[in-house]
């Protein structure tokens, strides 16, 4: 999480655990926090970077077999990733309202099962 967003995150979590907050307030803050985290993860998916969250996201994608990378040796002891592919499941179908041909189910990435 960006350090500049620390106050927002702390405020949200404080409201969620506050006995003085109403259920509606907690629900509203939880929705704001969910949207924030969704935007944060989406940004990391587009540009993972070499920081802890980028490495965590890539590791999670690999463990769920959602990410594949092809790496080749370019010099002795040096391996370079030259291509990668990601399976997005229903992410784009959900985010953009893309449905199957019958308009019933959200579209999802094809995947061998």
Residue 57 lies in a domain: no
Q: Is 58 a domain residue?
A: no
**Alpha-carbon span 5 to 43, nearest angstrom:** 15
Q: Are residues 39 and 71 in the same domain?
A: no
Q: What's the confidence (pLDDT) of residue 86?
A: 67
pLDDT at 55: 73
Please state the rounded mean pLDDT for residues 13-40: 89
If pLDDT is split at 50, 70 and 90, which confidence band does 113 have?
A: very low
Q: Is the Cα dihedral 51, 86, 91, 59 positive or negative?
A: negative
- Does some domain include residue 52? no
Nearest partner of 57 among 96, 21, 90, 88, judged by Cα = 88
What's the pLDDT tens digit per position in 40-75?
A: 877 777 776 777 777 777 676 666 666 667 788 888
Within a domain: residue 77?
yes
In a domain? residue 37: yes
Tell me whether residue 112 is in a domain.
yes
Is 54 inside any structural domain?
no
Domain count, the chain: 2
Question: What is the pTM assigned to this prediction?
Answer: 0.46
Q: Is the pLDDT of residue 18 over 70?
A: yes
Same domain (yes/no): 9, 39:
yes
CA–CA distance, 48 with 41 (Å, rounded to integer): 9
Does residue 55 belong to any structural domain of this protein? no
Residue numbers of the domain that contains 113: 66-113
Query: Which residue bears the tokens 């040096």?
Result: 78
């Amino acid at each position: 999480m960006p350090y500049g967003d620390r106050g927002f995150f702390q405020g949200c979590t404080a409201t969620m655990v506050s006995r003085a907050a109403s259920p509606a307030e907690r629900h509203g803050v939880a929705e704001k926090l969910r949207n924030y985290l969704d935007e944060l993860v989406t940004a990391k998916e587009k540009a993972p970077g070499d920081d802890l969250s980028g490495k965590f996201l890539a590791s999670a994608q690999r463990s769920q077999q959602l990410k594949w990378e092809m790496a080749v040796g370019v010099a002795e002891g040096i391996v370079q990733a030259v291509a990668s592919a990601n399976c997005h499941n229903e992410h784009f179908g959900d985010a953009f309202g893309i449905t199957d041909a019958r308009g019933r189910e959200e579209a999802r990435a094809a995947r061998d099962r």
